[in-house]
Amino acid sequence: MEGSAEGSDDDGEDGGEDAAGGGGEDSAVGGADTPISPTAAMLAALLDADASSPLPTAATAVAAWFAHGHARGELKLGLLPFLLEHAMLPGERRGVFLFDDSLRECVAAAYASHSCVGGLLFNPDGNHYELTPLLRIEEIKQGPECTWVQLAAVGRCKISSVRRNKLHGFRLAIVSPYSDEGGAAKPSPSLEAVHAEVASQRRQLAKDLTAANEFDSGTWVSQGREAPLGEYQGGEAGGNEYIFVGADSGRACFGVYDSYEAMEESDGGELCEHVYVGLPWERPTAMGCCYFNARDVTGRHSNLGPTDLQIGCRYAADPAG
């Protein structure tokens, strides 16, 4: 894939320990003696000149932090691991549950400062890509067992160095802007036309399948769907939230097992995939993470704790962990 690159050896990544203090306040790489590019200097000057501009929004604050950091060569981001297929495109928003203590520290530290983290994108083999989505933390809720954050993808960055926070164990990286470099694009009427047609088809198919579902509950299975349309819409968990949990072993799939779940509504059972989230003292300091669609974090199983969650089926283990 264009612009992608397998990560360097994980041993190498872990070799650099970050001399971070508490709360994720990491020492700067680069520093005052770091040469500043003309472009970066210009950006800094523009932002400095615009300091009195009354735009007190999260978006402008992040933009200012990003430009200043870039100008000084010290853009450093804490990283949340994602499978490549879960990558957020710019402008997208997603709620995420974090159970891993190090990742909870990562977002807490970021939220206390510039409110940005990066998405470290992994392939199924555990190697990461050089590109990372720049994720703004829009909202955070911290509980005794997990942290929930709402992330918004606001740009892309290129990773130049990945290391580990010495105190809390999460990964962080020195990053630089990653942007399109091609010539000036033009509006594409043909793209808009085919998108409009597909959107219409998707609306019609969803409508048909919903209607069919009322007639035959097996329709969704035959269409390869995980769940009926709308079952989770409007729910507190939403349909785009993922649970992130730490791997119990760097090279093992995290606590995933199959079982036949007895369904209250039926006499038979249904093959389900479960994940054992684990207790704090059972979690290693490993970085490996799993990704689960939080279908049942509330609602039908709201009486269960996080160790009993019956959730989806996507996972990845970081061998470096």
Ranges within 13-32 binding another protein (CB under 8 A): none
Specify which residues 148 forms β-bridges with.
Answer: 97, 141
Tell me which H or E stretch contains 35: none
Distance CA 22, CA 29 (A): 17
Of residues 40 through 69, those in contact with another protein by CB under 8 A are 43, 46-47, 50, 55, 57-60, 63-64, 66-67
Of 77, 148, 146, whose CA–CA distance to 113 is shortest? 77
How far from chain centre, in Å, is Cα 285? 19
Window contacting another protein (CB under 8 A); options: 12-20, 29-37, 133-141, 254-262 = 133-141
- 211 is a site residue for another protein (CB under 8 A): yes
Distance CA 146, CA 219 (A): 36
Please pick, from the candidates 38, 215, 264, 303, the single residue that binds another protein as defined by CB under 8 A: 215
Q: What is the DSSP letter of 168?
A: T
DSSP, collapsed to helix, strand or coil, labels residue 25 as coil
- 178 is a site residue for another protein (CB under 8 A): yes
Q: Count of residues binding another protein (CB under 8 A)?
A: 86
- 285 is a site residue for another protein (CB under 8 A): no
Of 177, 172, 173, whose CA–CA distance to 158 is shortest? 177
Window contacting another protein (CB under 8 A); options: 21-29, 206-214, 244-252, 255-263 = 206-214
Tokens of 46: 């523009």
Distance CA 2, CA 129 (A): 11
Window contacting another protein (CB under 8 A); options: 99-107, 220-228, 267-275, 280-288 = 220-228
| Contact flags string 297-316 toward another protein, x per CB under 8 A | --------------------
- 4 is a site residue for another protein (CB under 8 A): yes
| Contact flags string 146-175 toward another protein, x per CB under 8 A | ------xxxxxx------------------
Of residues 63 through 122, those in contact with another protein by CB under 8 A are 63-64, 66-67, 70, 84-87, 89-93, 121
Tokens of 156: 């892309």
